[in-house]
A and B are shown apart, each in its own frame.
Chain A
Amino acid sequence: MASLKELKGRIGSVKSTQKITKAKQMVAAAKLRKAQAAAEAARPYAERLGAVMASLASKVSGDGAPKLLAGTGSDQRNLIVLVNTDKGLCGGLNSNLVKAAKAKAMELTAAGKNVQFYLVGKKGRAPIRRDYPKQIAENFDTSTVRNPGFAEAEAIAAQLVEMYEAGQFDVAHLIFPQFKSALAQDPTVAQLIPVPAPANAAASSAVVEYEPDEESILEELLPRYVKTQLFVALLEREASEQGASMTAMDNATRNAGDLINRLTIEYNRSRQAAITTELVEIISGAEAL
């Protein structure tokens, strides 16, 4: 059995751990509210751009369509764009994302396709490197800025489009955590490039005038659509990270509390035992006289 002094030390260290997890939980709760608001504010833009894209894409089809919409004509080389967080302490969020990415990679490899990774965020690097050491095309670091925003999405999109134009891959899949609630963040897999043809092309009967023309507008909007997609993914990641962190830290705080209770009981019990032993010794000593 551990000595009294040892127990005291352990209680102290668990208490300070609890303090840390509690603080992290409160910080995450505050940040979550902000991240959720940001995700909400971004929705109108994404929705409207999506609607415009849908109506344009239904008009421009066939040979005239830009490469970003029509694809390269092959789907051999796949790029998985995996959006992870930069910091830990957020429970199973990153491992779930990595799991989803590996499942996707496995599925593509089984179909005889080549797979490469484009990693956003620090936490996906190590686990992906372990399994696919030679297939990481690029890392994008978002940890240098406090709140990754549109500028980062822009940089990632520019790099992706450049790689696509240079013929480095045929299809890009985006994997990011979708924020459902503080308890649930589902890894989501979506096709990023070529831009998937929208299903519900609201074919309005009105004759729309285009300036300059459909193709040039579409050509300008497609990279912007990719950008927006990435921006939304970054915002979702932010909200998911804080949500997951809040839940994980709440659990950790509670576990630390339980541990403290258990250790305290043990401490009191051994203290009592020590006192009892001492008394017995004194009494039996007195009786012997």
Chain B
Amino acid sequence: MALHFELVTPEKLIRSAEVYQVVVPGTEGDFGVLEGHAPFMSTVRDGAIQIFETATSAPESIPVVGGFAEVNERGLTVLAEKAG
């Protein structure tokens, strides 16, 4: 199963896709989000988030600045002031 992932900046919706896993650089440490993650909110430190399309694929990384991550039953949403 896939995780619904969205990366949003004030300018536009950068990414909205079904992925396998996303690793987010949280303020208190990196965390990986897979499908079915418990509800969770965290601020994100400036750095790169890594997106794994499938379990085996190489990660794609997108740098973000001023971010905030929210995991709910619909998936993971990262709000960032700047991305890409």
- Which residues in A have some Cβ–Cβ distance to B below 8 Å? 38, 41-42, 44-46, 48-49, 52, 56, 149-150, 153-154, 204, 206-212, 216-217, 220-221, 224, 228, 231
Q: Which residues of A contact B79 (CB under 8 A)?
A: 45, 48-49, 52
Q: Which of A150, A153, A221 contacts B68 (CB 8 A)?
A: A221
- Alpha-carbon distance between A149 and B81 when the two chains are bound, in angstroms: 12
Q: Which of A41, A45, A209, A220 contacts B43 (CB 8 A)?
A: A220
Assess whether A149 is in contact with B11, with CB atoms less than 8 Å apart. yes
Known: A204-B72, A208-B72, A211-B43. 6 other contacts (CB 8 A): A38-B11, A42-B12, A45-B13, A153-B10, A207-B39, A217-B43
Majority SS at the chain B contact face:
strand
Q: Which residues of B contact A220 (CB under 8 A)?
A: 43, 68
Assess whether A210 is in contact with B41, with CB atoms less than 8 Å apart. yes
Also in contact, A217 and B68, with CB within 8 A (given A207-B39, A208-B41): yes
Q: Which residues of B contact A204 (CB under 8 A)?
A: 39, 72
Q: Name the distance in Å between A228's Cβ and chain B's nearest Cβ.
A: 6
* Number of A-B residue pairs with CB-CB distance less than 8 Å in the complex they form: 75
- Alpha-carbon distance between A52 and B10 when the two chains are bound, in angstroms: 15
Majority SS at the chain A contact face:
helix
- Give the number of residues in B that approach A within 8 Å (Cβ atoms): 24
- Alpha-carbon distance between A217 and B26 when the two chains are bound, in angstroms: 12
Q: Which of B9, B42, B66, B73 contacts A210 (CB 8 A)?
A: B42
- Alpha-carbon distance between A49 and B11 when the two chains are bound, in angstroms: 13
Q: Name the distance in Å between A233's Cβ and chain B's nearest Cβ.
A: 12
Within 8 Å of chain A (Cβ to Cβ): is B77? Answer: yes
Identify the interface centre among A154, A211, A224: most chain B CB within 10 Å of its CB.
A211
Also in contact, A212 and B43, with CB within 8 A (given A45-B9, A231-B10): yes
Q: Which residues of A contact B41 (CB under 8 A)?
A: 52, 56, 208-211, 217
Assess whether A208 is in contact with B10, with CB atoms less than 8 Å apart. no
Within 8 Å of chain A (Cβ to Cβ): is B8? Answer: yes
Within 8 Å of chain A (Cβ to Cβ): is B54? Answer: no
1/0 contact string of B1-17 vs chain A (CB within 8 Å)? 00000101111110000
Beta-carbon contacts under 8 Å, B30-82 to A: 38-43, 66, 68, 70, 72-73, 77, 79, 81
Q: Which of B13, B27, B72 contacts A211 (CB 8 A)?
A: B27
- Alpha-carbon distance between A45 and B41 when the two chains are bound, in angstroms: 16
Q: Name the distance in Å between B18's Cβ and chain A's nearest Cβ.
A: 17
